[in-house]
Amino acid sequence: MEKKGWKFLAILLTVFSLILVVGNFSMYSIYSTQNSEIEKLENFYNYYEKGIKEYSFGVYNSNVGDYNYDLFSWSYENDYLTDAIDYCKEARELWFASNDNYHKAISYFKKANETIPANKEKYKELVNKYIETSDIAININSAMYEACEYFESACNQYLNYNFEAGHKEVEKANEKIRLHDSYIKKYNSVLKELEVLEES
């Protein structure tokens, strides 16, 4: 009877030890999973915030570029061609900088997408919409950048009294303006979708 009692006690101790081991392993697994999700969430917000920062710089530089283009337009229409060239150059520099910001933003947004935790999948649509908006903004800036190149060339031709060559450059510029306008329509549509997602 005494041996059976010790045997029974040994079995109980073994079972209890197994329960502790399994319990500790389960707790470790839960802790590791939670820790991994927290780390992913932190990485997501880090990349997302960097993307938003570059996106905001992109919008700002683009708007200032547009302002310089307005100054170019006034100078061009009033035959201040040297000033018009200068404003066009400034506008192009700003649109170039804006595109650099948008490219960086897209890179950060893509990294953010890779780190979205399983319970935050709804953010993927928002991030993708920022990527889409940035892509279109890059096309808008590029069209205006090329338009200003042609306008600068036209102004130089006019300053040298090569009016026919200048007119041809203006025609090329107007083609880019029309392309710009088509991108603007698409941009405005996508921007509305982005605003809805931000509010939800």
| CA dihedral of residues 174, 180, 184, 186 (deg, nearest 10) | 120
Residue 69: what pLDDT?
98
Q: Which of 84, 93, 92, 187 is nearest to 140 (CA)?
A: 187
Please give the mean pLDDT across all residues of the chain.
86
Polymer length of the chain: 200
Dist. CA 91–CA 65, nearest whole Å: 4
pLDDT in tens, 44-88: 999 999 999 999 999 999 999 999 999 999 999 999 999 999 999
Higher pLDDT, 11 or 148: 148
* pLDDT confidence tier of residue 27, bands split at 50, 70 and 90: very low
* pLDDT confidence tier of residue 120, bands split at 50, 70 and 90: confident
DSSP-assigned states of every residue in 79-110 = T-HHHHHHHHHHHHHHHHHHHHHHHHHHHHHH
Dist. CA 188–CA 200, nearest whole Å: 19
Domains of the chain, residue spans? 42-199
The pair of three-digit structure tokens given for residue 190, joined into one six-digit string: 């996508």
Q: Could you tell me where the DSSP H helices lie in the chain?
A: 2-77, 81-114, 122-159, 163-199
**140 has a pLDDT exceeding 70:** yes
Dist. CA 200–CA 192, nearest whole Å: 13
Contacts of 143 (CB under 8 A, 6+ apart): 176, 177, 179, 180, 183
The pair of three-digit structure tokens given for residue 38, joined into one six-digit string: 């927290």
The answer to whether 95 touches 61, Cβ cutoff 8 Å, is yes
Dist. CA 98–CA 83, nearest whole Å: 23
Dist. CA 86–CA 64, nearest whole Å: 14
The answer to whether 91 touches 149, Cβ cutoff 8 Å, is no
Helix (H, G, I), strand (E, B) or coil at 1: coil
Q: Torsions phi, psi of 6, nearest 5?
A: -65, -40
pTM over 0.85? The answer is no
User: What's the whole-number mean pLDDT along residues 124-144?
Assistant: 97
